[in-house]
A = this chain, B = another copy of it.
Amino acid sequence: MGAAAERAEEEHEEWAGVTPDAARRLVGAAVEAFAERGYHATTTRDIAGRAGMSPAALYIHYKTKEELLYRISGIGHEKALRIMGAAAGAEGSATERLRDAVRTFARWHAEHHTTARVIQYELQALGPEHYTEIAGLRRRTDRLLRQIIQDGADSGEFRADDVPGTTLAVLSLCVDVARWFTADGPRTPDEVGTLYADLVLRMVGAPDPGRSTGASH
C-alpha cells in the first residue's frame, strides 16, 4: 500500500475503531463541539443534537461526558504516538528521521486540527487518573523525539547544546499548529509539514543542502 493510499484510509474514518455506529457518531460530534467551544462550554445536549439523537442516548454509550473526552484523548494520542514512532523507528540518519518526524507530526496536527486541538488543549478537563494515563502516552511521544535529537547530537549531525530544551521547543511548535491552523487558511497540511521540517532542521543546525524544495504547485 502506497503512502497516499495509507493516508487516505486513515483520513476516511478517523474513528473507524469505535462501534456501534451511534457511539462513533457521538465521538465525531463531541470532537467538533469540544474543538469549537472547549470542553466545559459544550453541553451534552449539544453533542447529542449534532449526532442526531436525544440527550439521553449519550449515556447508553458513555457513562459520562468526561468519558467521551477520555476516549477521544486516548485514540488521538495513540495515533500521535504511532506517527512519531514510525518516524523514529525508520532507518536513516538522524537528519532524515527528524525531518520525517516533524513533517508527519506537524501535518497530522494540521490535517486533524479539530481532534488535535481537543487532545492537546483540553487535557486538564480529564479526571486525575485518566489524565495521568494520557500523560504517559505523551511522555512516550516526547521520548521518541528526544532520542532522535540525541542521536543527531551524538553523531555530530546536529548542534544541540540543550537536548531536552530543543525537544520541548520542537514538540511545542508542532502541537501548537492545532491552535492556529484552519482549513480555509493559505497553507495546506502538507505545506505546513514541509515548512516546519525545514525550520526545525535549521534550528538544530543540521546540514543544509538536504532541504526540500518547499511549496510545489
Chain A interface residues (CB < 8 Å from chain B): 37-38, 40-41, 121, 124-125, 159, 161-162, 164-166, 168-169, 172-173, 175-177, 179-180, 186-187, 195-196, 199-200, 202-205, 214-215
Contact = CB atoms under 8 A, between A and B. Distances in A.
Contacts of A215: 162
Contacts of A203: 199-200, 202-203
A33 to B, nearest CB: 13
Number of copies: 2
A99 B42 CA distance: 41
SS of A interface (majority): helix
19 contacts: A37-B124, A38-B38, A40-B40, A40-B41, A121-B121, A161-B214, A162-B214, A165-B187, A166-B199, A169-B173, A169-B196, A169-B199, A172-B173, A172-B180, A173-B173, A175-B176, A176-B176, A199-B203, A200-B203
